[in-house]
Structure 1
Amino acid sequence: MLPTARLLSATSRKIRGTPPNEHLSPTQLCRALLREASYLPDQTAREYFHRFILWRFRSYQPIDKASRPFREINEKPKQRLLAANIDLRASEKLRKGRQALSLLRQANNGEHRPLRKVLLAAYGRTGRRRHELIQPLLQPAIPESSDALGAILKETPANNKKPLQELYHDDSRVLSFFDAPRGKSGDKAQIRISKEYPQLEAVIQANGQYRPRSNPRHALRSVSLIAPTTNSWGRPMPVKRAKNMVRNWYKYAMERMLPPLPEQEWDRLHGLALGDIKWEPVSLRSIGTVRPEGANTDLSSEIPLHLLEQSGPASDLDQAKNRLLHSLYPPKSTATDARDYTSRNRITPRFMQRLYHGIAQLCCKLVWESSLNRWTVVWGSVAAKERLRRVWTDPVEADLLFSGVDERGRLPMPPRNVEPLQNNGNLQHKDSQ
């Protein structure tokens, strides 16, 4: 979570010998985060983090200083926090905000791990957006016809409770996602996802079968709950313990599931990973300039900021003062200073394509198969392999590839120019002479 903006009017706490991020006030920190988010090399990441940063700061804005009603990141209205709670959380949120600023700076510098972490959050493999992508899967399917709706209404009991809600006498929403238990063996029962949630069932089945190596989450190893029907004394399982088993498995599945992306976003990511869509870098900003006092209005009189910052002190007294302050308050070493700068990369189209390929392996989309009358899940790596397989298995004439070589793939040696030998009769005649 990103920082609070409670102390908007507070002065920045400037301490000598501390990293620059420690100086930032909440307002400056918000602007710095938005600025770094605008430099990210991916369009989806820029849009997501811009929206996310504003949402986090507005969620901690006091009611008396709010200029607009606060809404969730998914445009749902939400009640603001109390001023006392904001004051208690301010320092911790500011610390996390400074960490987020360092992460965005490292990503913009071309460091592989921070940039991959940013892309994973932007495409919903980690973080808040992953939970947002899960929400559409938790909505029941809409019946295709009135006959299907009538069949559902006939199976639904009068109290409108789902099988597990009726069995365990509990109205929890978690229990509504499951079908009634089915006997798997003598003392085991299998509980699967309800047919009313076909998208959720298809995604869980696909996550159980597909296990990429670079998955930031633990693999989903069971696609259904196998629960014992009796306890260790051979008695029927208590209802409370059975409900806890269902809740724990639901939590286990939600923590390990990789939700599908929207089809249009998945197609764009897949095209960037394969090189079909050209990666467009962020346009470079011009360097700021300063006009000295008393200078004319000509543009040639302006001085770039980086040259102004590199200029030394004006007098020997200032130099002695700086040396004294440096000896009294030595600069604090940070993780950025100790980091090996060889980990930074130039952000090129090839570098981004390799990153996109790794992210696409973790992303999927839902496709409706009318012939099978069900939802199927397509993963990015599987689609890429199918394309490469079509490229390399196209029929090609063998003469075009292996013409002019022998069985070992070597060029044959040209024949030597040898004079023809005389016949045997002439040789015998010469010997008799």
Structure 2
Amino acid sequence: MSIRLPHPDSAIHLYRHLLREATYVPPYCRPWLTERIKRRFRDWRRPNLHEAHQSLRFLRSANSGHINRTLHLCFLASGRLGKRKRQLATSFFKKDPAEDSDALAKRPLFSTATAAPNRSNRKPRPEEAPVLTWLNNWDIDKVMAVAGAQVRNSQTNFPKQMRKTIDPARVLPKVNAWGQVFKPRLVGRKLQKHYAKLLADLMPPMPQGEWDLLQDLSLGQAEPEMFNVPTRRTVATTPVATQDSSTDTTPEWNWEEYVTKPVRTVERSNSRAIKSLSGACDSDPRGQGRPIGVKSFSPRRLRRSIYNRVWEASPILTYAKGKEKFKVTFGGTRRELSPATTSDLQFFSGVDTKGTVAHKGNG
């Protein structure tokens, strides 16, 4: 239910409101969110209060029961989106340091141009000189292993959908519209662009301990405190003088806005789509109704709608023995049909597991 809460007007007041709202989020993303709020305020040289006010409205909407906004917070905390996603990708996909000089010399290098043999004494042109790229710092084998597994396990509830074709040999054209072969430098730039888009859609692997925690949360095997969202404390009110009961306390209707502005603009805060963001409440029982996307956070809904979806988008990367160098495992439980109840089994009497009717013999 949307609650009309006071909105802060100063930076310190806004900071306290954000920290208070962080105590009502699901326990999984609560430590990350609290630390992020503190770090953002400490790093601010010129506080962007407008952005902070938007974040406060977003948190209040998520705490009121908005499923998609709460899921977005868990995606940010788990590194499926945002800054932590780039940090996990850097730590897992960066190449390990070479053991010695020989191992460093054997590593393949990506360049935006292939140096052609200089058969004359002329100075090489700028487009002929090889230029190393940022791809030399990334382990392409790990990137392609995770990308291939993500294509095979891609679900509709992923925060970002992976493209189906990930092989650069099939994506990059070899000739232009006039049938001419691309210059080596242009081929290198296209290759960088392809891998940049691939990394933007890629779900980086997670640490083993955090992946195991998400598994326990999805299967309901974690501590009971991880499934309990604290209830909102009573809003503090200032004491007011006792008024006469005959005094009309109905808020005055501002007719000038309805005359000078469209009705959809004046009543936009009361619409069901953004009612959880604005915190508006219907004073009339014939109002717009319940906000869209707002549910009550029961332990079952928190496990199935939040934790399980985050776990499905989270892989782990391990070294494998055999043809494949790396093994990628995505989370998620296998969905199976529940067995029929005793009252429903009477409709299937006389039918085998393949759906064939069993004929009874005479006598």
| Partner residue of 2:94 out of 123, 126, 139 | 139
CA offset digits 1:369-418 (Å, max 9, x no partner): 2455722110112xx229x79x99xxxxxxxxx9xx97459xxxxxxxxx
| Partner residue of 2:146 out of 203, 206, 209 | 203
Gaps of 5+ in 2: 115-127, 258-265, 281-287, 340-344, 353-363
Q: Supply the distance in 2 between the matched residues of 1:243 and 1:373 (Cα, whole angstroms).
A: 27
Structure 1 47/221 Cα, relative in aligned 2: closer, same or farther at 3 Å?
A: same
Partner of 2:109: 162
| Partner residue of 2:10 out of 19, 25, 33 | 25
* Structure 2 contact 8–14 (Cα < 8 Å) conserved: no
Structure 1 228/408 Cα, relative in aligned 2: closer, same or farther at 3 Å?
A: closer
Q: Supply the distance in 2 between the matched residues of 1:367 and 1:267 (Cα, whole angstroms).
A: 14
Partner of 1:237: 182
Deviation of residue 58 (structure 1)? 1.9
Partner of 1:263: 208
Partner of 1:314: 242
- Ranked by relative contact order (alpha carbons within 8 Å, sequence separation 6 or more), the top structure is 2
CA offset digits 1:202-256 (Å, max 9, x no partner): 2122223322111221322222213333333333312442233122212211221
What secondary structure sits across from 1:58 in the alignment? helix
| Partner residue of 2:334 out of 385, 388, 391 | 385
Q: Supply the distance in 2 between the matched residues of 1:207 and 1:408 (Cα, whole angstroms).
A: 40
* Structure 1 contact 130–259 (Cα < 8 Å) conserved: yes
CA offset digits 1:306-339 (Å, max 9, x no partner): 5x55x7642449967x77x845799986232267
CA offset digits 1:98-117 (Å, max 9, x no partner): 12112212222222122112
Q: Supply the distance in 2 between the matched residues of 1:216 and 1:286 (Cα, whole angstroms).
A: 29
What secondary structure sits across from 1:106 in the alignment? helix
Deviation of residue 136 (structure 1)? 1.2
Q: Supply the distance in 2 between the matched residues of 1:106 and 1:329 (Cα, whole angstroms).
A: 29
What secondary structure sits across from 2:111 in the alignment? helix
Mapped pair 1:348 → 2:298: yes
Q: Supply the distance in 1 between the matched residues of 2:54 and 2:176 (Cα, whole angstroms).
A: 48
AA matched with 2:142: Q
Mapped pair 1:220 → 2:220: no
AA matched with 2:205: P
Mapped pair 1:38 → 2:47: no
Partner of 2:55: 100
Structure 1 330/30 Cα, relative in aligned 2: closer, same or farther at 3 Å?
A: farther
What secondary structure sits across from 1:228 in the alignment? coil
AA matched with 1:278: E
* Structure 1 contact 258–362 (Cα < 8 Å) conserved: yes
Deviation of residue 287 (structure 1)? 5.5
Q: Supply the distance in 2 between the matched residues of 1:176 and 1:372 (Cα, whole angstroms).
A: 24
How many pairs are equivalent?
A: 302
Partner of 1:73: none
* Structure 2 contact 14–53 (Cα < 8 Å) conserved: yes
Structure 1 199/349 Cα, relative in aligned 2: closer, same or farther at 3 Å?
A: same
* Structure 1 contact 110–344 (Cα < 8 Å) conserved: yes
Q: Supply the distance in 1 between the matched residues of 2:256 and 2:81 (Cα, whole angstroms).
A: 39
* Structure 1 contact 137–200 (Cα < 8 Å) conserved: no
C-alpha RMSD of matched pairs (Å): 3.9
Deviation of residue 368 (structure 1)? 2.1
Partner of 2:320: 369
Gaps of 5+ in 1: 1-18, 62-85, 178-193, 289-304, 393-401, 410-433
Structure 1 residues 125-136: aligned runs within 5 Å:
125-136=80-91
Deviation of residue 174 (structure 1)? 2.6
Partner of 2:44: 60
Q: Supply the distance in 1 between the matched residues of 2:308 and 2:76 (Cα, whole angstroms).
A: 16
Structure 1 200/283 Cα, relative in aligned 2: closer, same or farther at 3 Å?
A: closer
Structure 1 265/175 Cα, relative in aligned 2: closer, same or farther at 3 Å?
A: closer
What secondary structure sits across from 2:36 in the alignment? helix
Deviation of residue 20 (structure 1)? 5.7
Partner of 1:174: 134
Deviation of residue 150 (structure 1)? 6.1
Mapped pair 1:152 → 2:107: no
* Structure 1 contact 26–94 (Cα < 8 Å) conserved: yes
AA matched with 1:357: N
Deviation of residue 121 (structure 1)? 1.4
Moved more, 334-343 or 230-239: 334-343
What secondary structure sits across from 2:88 in the alignment? helix
TM-score, length-scaled by structure 1 = 0.59
Q: Supply the distance in 1 between the matched residues of 2:200 and 2:144 (Cα, whole angstroms).
A: 15
Higher helix proportion: 1
Structure 1 276/253 Cα, relative in aligned 2: closer, same or farther at 3 Å?
A: same
* Structure 2 contact 19–37 (Cα < 8 Å) conserved: yes
Structure 1 125/329 Cα, relative in aligned 2: closer, same or farther at 3 Å?
A: farther
Q: Supply the distance in 1 between the matched residues of 2:221 and 2:71 (Cα, whole angstroms).
A: 21
Q: Supply the distance in 2 between the matched residues of 1:27 and 1:142 (Cα, whole angstroms).
A: 45
Structure 1 residues 104-123: aligned runs within 5 Å:
104-123=59-78
TM-score, length-scaled by structure 2 = 0.69
What secondary structure sits across from 1:164 in the alignment? coil
* Structure 1 contact 260–366 (Cα < 8 Å) conserved: yes
AA matched with 1:104: L
